[in-house]
Structure 1
Amino acid sequence: MNLALIIDDYLPHSTRVAAKMFHELAVELLEQGHYVTIITPHFDKNEPALIEEKLDGVVIWRFLSGQIKDVPKVKRAINETLLSHRAWRAIQGKVDKDTFDGVVYYSPSIFFGSLVSKLKNRCQCNSYLILRDFFPQWAIDSGLMKEGSLIERYFRFFETISYRNADIIGVMSEKNLEIFNRNTNNRLPTTILRNWANLSPHCPSDTVRNLREKLGLNDEVIYFYGGNIGHAQDMANLIRLAKNMQCFDKAHFIFLGQGDEVKLINDLIKKWALTNCSYLPSVSQQEFKDILAQVDVGLFSLSAKHSAHNFPGKLLGYMVQSLPILGSVNKGNDLMGLVNINQAGLISVNGEDDVFFENASKLQNDIELRKSTGDSGYKLLEKEFSVVNIASSIVDSFKKS
């Protein structure tokens, strides 16, 4: 099959988990004998409106766009709104009725519905929406947007277009499926499509700079958070944990990434005079893998205000490296049961700081527990989150349609 894969961020320039996941999916689809074209924006005004290139055999069409990451919210909203228009203007001359047999698009962003509609009409093919969060709902839950406001109605309009152009919508978990179907009155075709990862652990080369030497750490247990640092993650929750863990001389927390709450975590580290924390800016995917291979515990947090049940992509990176997972989630999130029952980590409810601290203390004091939990996490990855199975599932959905 000839497949178009659409996402708002892609390798090698991106440091985000979604870009890495999408590339792993594209490479796996190639391995299974399909042809893949990534459609994604670029942001260099000095380059052509359409750049064509390849990465690991994957064809990439990069269309010129205004910046949509790490810019003021209004500017981001305007540039995301124009994504479909700018993409179609750049690629329409390359698309005829036989170009694609299916379109796979990733949300966020919610603004690719119009582009998908045009591709489907011209190629007479079906589409698959990989839906990873319920925006704007999570922004309303977090208090960033008022329900019923003009801006909410604006985003809901584009959310509806995105959903309407999907022949099937894949959400992350059973609970998400229940919530989505309830909110849409079971009017849309849905299924469960978990996040995914390549199963090969990364071994850093001898030339890689030792993380412990860089940060002046010796035999400390390193708790690592890597990824988006934003409102949805409730980073203050993790900094509170680090504060409570000051009673352990050999516990150190590393926060790596970018997002709206970088200033918050640095301000809290300074305010509470935390000497057991380090912040590192985003790094390349290769450097990220090198760091994951050198830390002890994979850390994450989800806002207590969320109504959806996200499975953060960063957890898959932890599981690939057999790192025990330590985190907290919104109440009722089925991720907690999945990880805890499979002994792949210790997850508690956000706000229950005593339980979060108790779980961290268990991992701090027991190296064998860290190892057995990490090994169980890798087994869970093999069972539920293999990119091989995910790619096959998406292709099968097109063959059935």
Structure 2
Amino acid sequence: MNENTLSYGQFPPESNAPATRTYEHCKTWVEQGVEVTVITGAPNFPHGKVYKGYSNKIYSIEYVDGIKVIRVWTFIAANKGFLKRIIDFISFMISAFIAGLFVKTDLIIATSPQFFTAVAGRWLAFWKRKKWVMEVRDLWPESIKAVGAMDRNIAIRFFEYLEHRMYKNAYKIVSVTDSFKRYIIADHNIPSSRIAVVKNGINTSMFSPITKSTSLIKELGLENKFIIGYIGTHGMAHKLDFILQCADKVKDESVHFLFVGAGAEKDNLLKLKENLGLKNVSLLPSVQKKQVKEYLSIIDVGLVNLRKSDTFKSVLPSKIFELAAMHKPILLGVEGEAKELVEQYNVGLSFDPENETEFLRAIERLKNSDLDRWEFSRLVADFDRVDLAKKMLEFLKED
């Protein structure tokens, strides 16, 4: 890599984990002297509505902290439903490819998910005769099968073929977990030397311990409550209906569940809350990134949950790092690498996904635990996002 890098992915003001990772890595690279261009769409996640101040134009340019951001037209769909989202993904693939043809670059980085972003990067690398890097943030289409969105039909088999071709063709691969790297090596016969693991991390300038927001607690009517909080996407993978069903079994009236966010399952969760008559659950809409810290400040325990699936044993949710940075103990319903990390760094308790007995027992243990028993500082130091961005940059520079 010389001076110019072209990156495809979600980008702020969207505040989900992929957008945050792309922005914070690119910002660090610019500070290291790299010229970075990001191709993305009009911000609309998760509701499928373009944010105020933006429009779904064919092509527009803005500059954010030294990063050149090109926004292209897409068929915008909300983060629910399968067919419309696929059309959305394909439209971005085509628009981003065309826009990329007119960008000077030495290296192309394309992220997965969504998978069609990687296809656009591959196409552009071919036509521009440039090297490209595939950043693997999810095992797609494995994750589609894991949440039951699609059976293994001809479409899935085609996506699996594309996945294999992308891994084989990429100049280098950046994985966000060790498990992903092992899978790519074993199932796709990719040399280990072509793959680097750069995990999600912590923006310590944004997330750090602060005093609870008493005004927000009062506004939400949660005085004298032990708050278990979930802030993020309410999707099929997160199995939050299980949490609501467990909340119905919690007898301790001081325990309250706070959910903040949106997603494909939000409407179903609202209906379930109403049907169960839950008084100990609040389901709030998503908030801006700058407000997330205030909401995190008022929780006593941070919930990180995924449905029970072998596929999700390989993931490492970014919520773990933000919660640790805020010194919030974690209630983890994820197996595999995430569980190993939480236990290794002693930042929370885990339960077997979708196991009601273990979940309720873990809540009781956390409520009765002393905050001093948790060790957050070591994890925060080991996963500083600036350091991780520099690590990725060094890997990209290697011949």
Q: TM-score, normalised by structure 1?
A: 0.88
User: SS at 2:362's partner residue?
Assistant: helix
SS in 1 for 2:291: helix
CA displacement at 1:40 relative to structure 2 = 0.5
How far off is 1:345 after superposition? Answer: 1.0
After TM superposition, the structure 1 stretch with the greater mean CA deviation from structure 2, 264-273 or 58-67, is 264-273
| Matching residue of 2:5 | 3
C-alpha displacement of 1:121: 4.2
Match of 2:263 in 1: 259
CA distance in 1, matches of 2:209, 2:68: 28
Q: Give 2:240's match in structure 1, choosing from 220, 235, 240.
A: 235
Give the residue type in structure 1 aligned to 2:319: K
Q: 1:209 to 1:352 in 2, by over 3 A?
A: closer
What is the letter of the counterpart of residue 265 of structure 2?
Answer: E
Q: How does 1:1-400 map to 2 (within 5 A)?
A: 1-7=3-9, 9-12=10-13, 14-42=14-42, 48-93=57-102, 95=103, 99-121=104-126, 124-147=129-152, 149-186=153-190, 189-202=194-207, 210-244=215-249, 246-308=250-312, 309-330=314-335, 333-366=336-369, 368=370, 370-373=371-374, 376-383=375-382, 385-400=383-398
Matches of 2:267 and 2:19, distance apart in 1: 24
User: What SS does the aligned partner of 2:248 have?
Assistant: helix
Q: More displaced, 122-131 or 286-295?
A: 122-131
Indicate conservation of the 8 Å contact 2:6/2:39, yes or no.
yes
CA distance in structure 1 between the aligned counterparts of 2:307 and 2:259, rounded to whole angstroms: 17
1:60-106 CA distance string (max 9 Å, x none): 1111111144253212112212322111223423x2xxx22322222
SS in 1 for 2:270: helix
Assess, with a 3 A threshold, how the Cα gap between structure 1 residues 16 and 220 changes in structure 2: closer, same or farther. Answer: same
CA separation of 1:128/1:91 partners in 2, compared to 1, >3 Å: closer, same or farther? closer
Q: Is the 2:41–2:74 contact (alpha carbons within 8 Å) kept by the matching residues of 1? A: yes
- Supply the distance in 1 between the matched residues of 2:160 and 2:110 (Cα, whole angstroms): 18
Deviation of the 1:176 alpha carbon: 2.8
Larger deviation, residues 42-51 vs 282-291: 42-51
**Any gaps of 5 or more consecutive residues in structure 1?**
none
Work out the CA distance in 2 between the residues paired with 1:314 and 1:273: 28
Is the Cα–Cα contact under 8 Å of residues 130 and 193 in structure 1 kept in the other structure? no
Matches of 1:300 and 1:71, distance apart in 2: 20
Which residues of structure 2 form unaligned runs of 5+? 44-49
Equivalent-residue separation in structure 2 for 1:393 and 1:3 (angstroms): 16
SS for the counterpart of 1:274 is coil
Q: How has the CA–CA distance of structure 1 residues 241 and 377 changed in structure 2, closer, same or farther, with 3 Å as cutoff?
A: farther
| SS of residue matched to 1:105 | strand
Partner amino acid, structure 2, of 1:355: E
CA contact (8 A) 2:347 2:376 kept: yes
| Contact in 1 for aligned 2:56/2:74 (Cα 8 Å) | no
**CA 1:129–1:378 in structure 2 vs 1: closer, same or farther (change >3 Å)?**
farther
1:310–1:17 distance in 2 versus 1, CA, 3 Å? same
Percent identity, please.
24
Distance (whole Å) between structure 1 residues aligned to residue 182 and residue 156 of structure 2: 22
Aligned residues: 385
Paired with 1:224 and 1:29, the residues of 2 have a C-alpha distance of: 33
RMSD (Å) for aligned C-alpha atoms: 2.6
1:390 & 1:166 partners in 2: Cα distance? 21
Q: CA deviation at 1:204?
A: 10
Which moves more between the two structures, 136-145 or 292-301?
136-145
- Alpha carbons 1:28, 1:387 under 8 Å: kept: no
Supply the distance in 1 between the matched residues of 2:368 and 2:209 (Cα, whole angstroms): 27
TM-score where L is the length of structure 2: 0.88
Aligned residue type for 2:351? S
Contact 2:208 2:325 in 1 (8 A): no
Q: Residue 201 and residue 113 in structure 1: after superposition, are their counterparts in 2 closer, same or farther (change >3 A)?
A: closer
The farther-off stretch of 138-147 and 269-278 is 138-147
CA 1:20/1:197 → structure 2, altered by over 3 Å: closer, same or farther? same
Q: Secondary structure at the match of 1:146?
A: coil
Question: Judging changes above 3 Å, is the alpha-carbon distance between structure 1 residues 186 and 381 closer, same or farther for their aligned structure 2 residues?
Answer: same
- Relative to structure 1, the CA distance from residue 113 to residue 105 in structure 2 (aligned partners, 3 Å threshold; closer, same or farther) is closer
1:71/1:143 CA distance change after superposition, 3 Å: closer
- Give me the whole-angstrom Cα distance separating, in 2, the residues matched to 1:382 and 1:105: 28
* 1:388 partner letter: V
Paired position in structure 1 for 2:47 = none
